[in-house]
Structure 1
């Protein structure tokens, strides 16, 4: 089956058929008899795009790469972006911290034809989650481990935990995302246990990138790809022993994952990210306020990496376990 001309999946549909499926409300997967190389060759738009609806944030994470501030896009700007993203399956309404947008519900409505993921620190989750129920597909919550680790590298543990509970009570599926530093490696089993207790569908582990606040990290905090693989496999073993259910994914920065994300900044500037030989790790591709994603996709040089990453073939992954 060809992906050429395939329309976006309606928002919140948990699963699709064909060469690319969206499973568990959290991620893409290859369908039967499909392969990532063929899918990459057939795509006319990205599988997933990150749209930064603000750069503002109420945390100051030690590893944050997005520290430069620009004005928020207007609702009209985002309406233009949504129209120009036609054909994309999933959109992350990202930040900064998207829950800081007072018009977030209007923004979500603008992107209602897409699968919507919401990366958030959840500090306003208890208040906002009930209003987002049925409107977003899942929330991806930054959560780095037990209290001591969390408060050292990210912020208020109890406030975020309350926000997670707000999303859960609203019936919105959650996943956890953690930036892995050498000094936080010992907390990964505890993080996975917390995710299991709270019913998170996935624990997403990312290595830090040298940008923004992360430039001030001690060099020893950056683990190697070999170390990442070793700790990932150990975590998978522990998941089996303790019967934890969340999927576990880790993205090391290798040639196979370079440039795999397409990120739209609040000013519409659209980039491939991360591109290692660029000083700011951005490769400019165009402006989504001015042209359709098909034109940007045509000049995007990392199509194979994009498909491989989002289909889980270029990263370390173990899918959700069943009891």
Structure 2
């Protein structure tokens, strides 16, 4: 019972999205039966499973891997509402950046999308105190960028202590957490610590991502980029350690293989939708249209990476271990 004497409503555990796809809120992932053909799903869908909406390009960190270094004005709330209307049919929307919580009106941004989409927020958590209470219960989870122990975090991303303080604020507000870490050759030795930290924080998953040669990452030394084979071997070791240590968070690894090319649809602050990453395209972007001007269903029709999109988001083209397994 709540303090008002009203029964609490159990949180929604899953949502049937049609076309054989469901969304598991407790694991923050899309599900399909093992015998369902991905290409059939891709051809049945009329909109993406997930899109990334950049509500700002501004950020208070200067991550050494960051691809989003070209600035542009923030969209207004009215412009974002137009984007939201034109994203009808999209299951999940990441309200991203830059650092999205730098917007003073971020809780109003969440209100625009909440109720129409499953909402998730990638963040460095440094501005969590400004918004956590107002967005709790409205977002499915916060995905916090986190490269492990303090020394590695500071070298790769920024201020460990500011992020950790923000993580505690998100936890206190009851916002579910996931962590994501960009993997360099020089950080391979700390990946197990990242999973341990995630376990202590009760994060549902840890996503490991390889950097791409764009933006700040153009300044990275060549030896920092590991091969797909090295990434797979690293994930296999982490999987063994996870079983040995009985860590709870799910593990995910995205490598940049042909099966993952162009799988993300990113909507920039000006409304331009792009497929990302497209390996032979300038800046790894492929223009798709503008979501302020036309519905995503029309953009989806001409999007050429439908199968890759679905495969990635239902876990067929990435390395994955489920939560608690």
**After TM superposition, is the score higher than 0.5?**
yes
Query: Counterpart of 2:23 in 1: which secondary structure?
Result: strand
* RMSD between aligned residues: 1.2
Determine if the alignment matches structure 1 residue 193 to structure 2 residue 196: yes
CA distance in 1, matches of 2:309, 2:248: 27
- TM-score normalised by L of structure 2: 0.94
Determine if the alignment matches structure 1 residue 222 to structure 2 residue 221: no
311-320 vs 122-131, greater mean Cα deviation: 122-131
Q: Deviations over 1:223-251 (max 9, x none)?
A: 00000000000000000000001000000
Q: CA deviation at 1:31?
A: 3.7
Q: How does 1:119-198 map to 2 (within 5 A)?
A: 119-198=122-201
Assess if the C-alpha contact under 8 Å between 1:127 and 1:166 holds in 2. no
- TM-score normalised by L of structure 1: 0.94
304-313 vs 168-177, greater mean Cα deviation: 168-177
Determine if the alignment matches structure 1 residue 233 to structure 2 residue 232: no
Determine if the alignment matches structure 1 residue 88 to structure 2 residue 90: yes
CA distance in 2, matches of 1:96, 1:230: 31
Q: Deviations over 1:59-113 (max 9, x none)?
A: 0000001100000011111010000000000000000000011111111111011
2:56 alignment counterpart = 54
CA distance in 2, matches of 1:128, 1:296: 32
Q: CA deviation at 1:160?
A: 0.5
Q: CA deviation at 1:33?
A: 4.5
Assess if the C-alpha contact under 8 Å between 1:25 and 1:137 holds in 2. no
Determine if the alignment matches structure 1 residue 295 to structure 2 residue 294: no
CA distance in 1, matches of 2:162, 2:51: 28
Where does the alignment leave 5 or more consecutive residues of structure 2 unmatched?
1-10
CA distance in 1, matches of 2:219, 2:293: 36
Where does the alignment leave 5 or more consecutive residues of structure 1 unmatched?
1-11
Q: CA deviation at 1:25?
A: 4.8
1:109 alignment counterpart = 111
Moved beyond 4 Å, runs of 4+? none
1:242 alignment counterpart = 245
1:22 alignment counterpart = 23
2:6 alignment counterpart = none
248-257 vs 28-37, greater mean Cα deviation: 28-37
Determine if the alignment matches structure 1 residue 267 to structure 2 residue 270: yes
Assess if the C-alpha contact under 8 Å between 2:214 and 2:283 holds in 1. yes
CA distance in 1, matches of 2:239, 2:43: 32
29-38 vs 281-290, greater mean Cα deviation: 29-38
Assess if the C-alpha contact under 8 Å between 1:123 and 1:159 holds in 2. yes
Q: CA deviation at 1:158?
A: 1.0
Query: Counterpart of 1:16 in 2: which secondary structure?
Result: strand
